[in-house]
């Protein structure tokens, strides 16, 4: 229970920094040449980077970047994947076979490599990162939604709705989607952690947000050059990234147990 409370506190701080950081007295682009690679101090409790910029201010900006990308990617990929998987599974026949082949094609490629390729083609920027990761992340939701729909489409209440002449879109909206939301919500929760890690990876490779905007991945990349003389440049964003991912996974496990969603249902 204490772990869940701590995880919720970490995510609360993350959300507050992302949503309310613009009202905080932060200046992530301010350079002070007298504090190049300076360690943490009272007037800068996370130190300064190689350009004399305050690490705390840039860490808060990176929290906003990761939060916006996580929300954008999970919203986009879950909506597209759920609709695609549910509709094609409900229609059945060659629609379902075509959907399975499309999903198999996407699953044949490593997701992060496909995201890197798309991000490289689109160029750096938050919008392009969301598009690149969303184009990869929808497959998991589609597969899960298809499996759940196939197990529910022959239930008595769905057959009764069909016998009464209810149209397909209404059956999907009122009789199928409410019953498959629980596993999809759990999937989305774990998806947030995956997206935060993927965004940091793309930014580490230079395919994330455009400079001078900050990202935890780009901060880690820039700090690796000074790891021996200024380890705080890597430790601060690295610990923040690990804390957020761990907190999301802990809350995802708790939510899965609460909703009684078994892990095997995702792959059946």
List, for residues 228-258, the tens digit of each pLDDT value: 999 999 999 999 999 999 999 999 888 888 8
Degrees, nearest 5: CA angle 253-185-200? 75
Per-residue pLDDT band for 28 (boundaries 50, 70, 90) equals confident
Degrees, nearest 5: CA angle 99-103-175? 55
Per-residue pLDDT band for 221 (boundaries 50, 70, 90) equals very high
The CA radius of gyration of the chain, in Å to the nearest whole number, is: 22
How many helices (H) and strands (E) would you count in the chain?
A: 10, 0
Measured CA to CA, the distance from residue 182 to residue 202 in angstroms comes to 30
Per-residue pLDDT band for 35 (boundaries 50, 70, 90) equals confident
Find residue 48's DSSP bridge partners: 54
Q: Please check the confidence at residue 210 and state whether its pLDDT lies above 90.
A: no
- Do the Cβ atoms of 44 and 32 come closer than 8 Å? no
Q: Please check the confidence at residue 197 and state whether its pLDDT lies above 90.
A: yes
Find residue 41's DSSP bridge partners: 44
- Integer CA distances (angstroms), 30 to 18, 33, 217, 219, 226, in order: 19, 10, 20, 16, 20
The residue ranking higher by pLDDT, 97 or 1, is: 97
pLDDT of residue 70: 94
What are the residue boundaries of the structural domains of the chain, listed by start?
A: 68-266
- Do the Cβ atoms of 159 and 242 come closer than 8 Å? no
pLDDT, mean of residues 18-34: 84
- Integer CA distances (angstroms), 137 to 60, 65, 134, 193, in order: 26, 18, 5, 12
pLDDT, mean of residues 1-13: 86
Domain 68-266 is found in CATH 3.40.50.2000: no
Q: Counting Cβ atoms within 10 Å, is residue 37 exposed (0-12), middle (13-18) or buried (19+)?
A: middle
pLDDT, mean of residues 26-30: 85
Please choose, from the candidates 169, 110, 177, the residue with its C-alpha nearest in 3D space to the C-alpha of residue 139: 110
**Tokens standing for 77?**
């990929």
pLDDT of residue 261: 46
The residue ranking higher by pLDDT, 222 or 22, is: 222
């Amino acid at each position: 229970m204490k772990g869940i409370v701590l995880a919720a506190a970490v995510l609360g701080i993350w959300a507050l920094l992302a949503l309310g950081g613009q009202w905080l007295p932060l200046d992530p682009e301010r350079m002070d040449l007298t504090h190049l690679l300076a360690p943490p101090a009272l007037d800068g409790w996370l130190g300064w980077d190689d350009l004399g910029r305050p690490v705390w201010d840039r860490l808060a900006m990176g929290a906003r970047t990761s939060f916006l990308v996580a929300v954008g990617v999970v919203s986009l990929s879950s909506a597209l994947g759920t609709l695609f998987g549910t509709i094609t599974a409900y229609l059945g026949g060659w629609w379902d076979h075509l959907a399975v082949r499309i999903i198999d094609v996407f699953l044949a490629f490593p997701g992060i490599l496909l995201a890197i390729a798309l991000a490289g083609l689109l160029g750096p920027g938050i919008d392009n990162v969301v598009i690149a990761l969303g184009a990869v992340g929808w497959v998991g939701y589609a597969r899960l939604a298809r499996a759940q729909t196939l197990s529910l489409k022959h239930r008595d209440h769905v057959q009764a709705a069909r016998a009464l002449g209810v149209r397909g879109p209404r059956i999907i909206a009122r009789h199928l989607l409410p019953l498959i939301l629980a596993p999809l919500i759990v999937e989305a929760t774990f998806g947030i952690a995956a997206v935060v890690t993927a965004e940091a990876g793309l930014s580490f490779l230079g395919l994330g947000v455009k400079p001078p905007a900050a990202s935890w991945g780009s901060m880690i990349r820039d700090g690796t050059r000074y790891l021996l003389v200024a380890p705080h440049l890597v430790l601060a964003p690295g610990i923040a990234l690990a804390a957020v991912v761990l907190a999301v996974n802990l809350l995802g496990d708790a939510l899965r147990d609460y909703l009684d969603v078994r892990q095997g249902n995702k792959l059946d």
